[in-house]
């Protein structure tokens, strides 16, 4: 991918994903029909980390990690401290799997390997809708799409 497509936004290298690509996936198409979305690819260079934060400009994203599964990690905490140890939980991304990501929980990313690429389908305009409600609706949409797909192939 040419270097110049990447922009640094809020300290993250990001590039936009076109509608032509999004429309290839029936699930993303169905989400797009219901929500305002911003599809991006995020990139984290080798041997870097993105420190503890909550996202400033978005609350809910549907994420799929595209590579570097064994060489990077994303962790969450509810009790961050600068002075003592605290509990963390890892979000272990599996290949080819979407995760509904609550960007308002404290999280950080470390990358020990090659450049890490994350597809991130940001849902916009839903600041006042509780995260769990949005997550449930994304699961419903997925079930509907899978059902339609099964009906198509069994017909
Ligand atoms: Fe983040």
CA dihedral 71, 75, 52, 95 (to 10 degrees): 50
How far is it, in rounded angstroms, from Cα 104 to Cα 7? 23
Ligand 1 centre and the CA of 27: distance in Å?
23
pLDDT confidence of residue 5: 84
Residue 17 pLDDT grade (very low, low, confident, very high; cuts 50, 70, 90): very high
Query: Is the model's pLDDT at 154 over the cut of 90?
Result: no
Q: What is the pLDDT of residues 32-60, one digit of tens each?
A: 999 999 999 999 999 999 999 999 888 99
Ligand 1 centre and the CA of 106: distance in Å?
8
Q: Which of 125, 138, 122 is nearest to 14 (CA)?
A: 122
The answer to whether position 38 is within a domain reads yes
The answer to whether position 13 is within a domain reads yes
Tokens (6 digits) for 147: 């059902």
SS3 56: coil
First to last CA, the chain: 40
pLDDT confidence of residue 4: 62
- Domain total of the chain: 1
Q: Could you tell me the residue range of the domain that residue 148 belongs to?
A: 7-154
Q: What is the pLDDT of residues 79-111, one digit of tens each?
A: 999 899 999 999 999 999 999 999 999 999 999
* Backbone φ and ψ of 90, nearest 5°: -90, 135
Residue 66: give its domain's CATH number: 2.60.120.10
What does pTM read for this prediction? Answer: 0.89
Ligand 1 centre and the CA of 107: distance in Å?
6
């Amino acid at each position: 991918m040419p270097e110049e497509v990447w922009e640094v936004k809020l300290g993250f290298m990001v590039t936009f994903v076109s509608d032509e690509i999004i429309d290839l996936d029936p699930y993303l198409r169905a989400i797009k029909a219901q929500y305002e979305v911003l599809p991006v690819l995020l990139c984290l260079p080798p041997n870097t980390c993105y420190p503890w934060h909550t996202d400033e400009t978005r609350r809910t994203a549907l994420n799929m990690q595209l590579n570097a599964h064994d060489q990077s990690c994303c962790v969450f905490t509810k009790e961050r401290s600068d002075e003592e140890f605290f509990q963390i939980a890892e979000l272990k991304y599996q290949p080819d799997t979407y995760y509904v990501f609550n960007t308002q929980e404290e999280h950080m990313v470390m990358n020990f390997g090659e450049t890490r690429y994350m597809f991130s389908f940001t849902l916009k305009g839903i600041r006042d809708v509780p995260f769990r409600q949005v997550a449930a609706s994304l699961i419903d949409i997925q079930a509907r799409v899978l059902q339609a797909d099964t009906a198509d192939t069994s017909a």
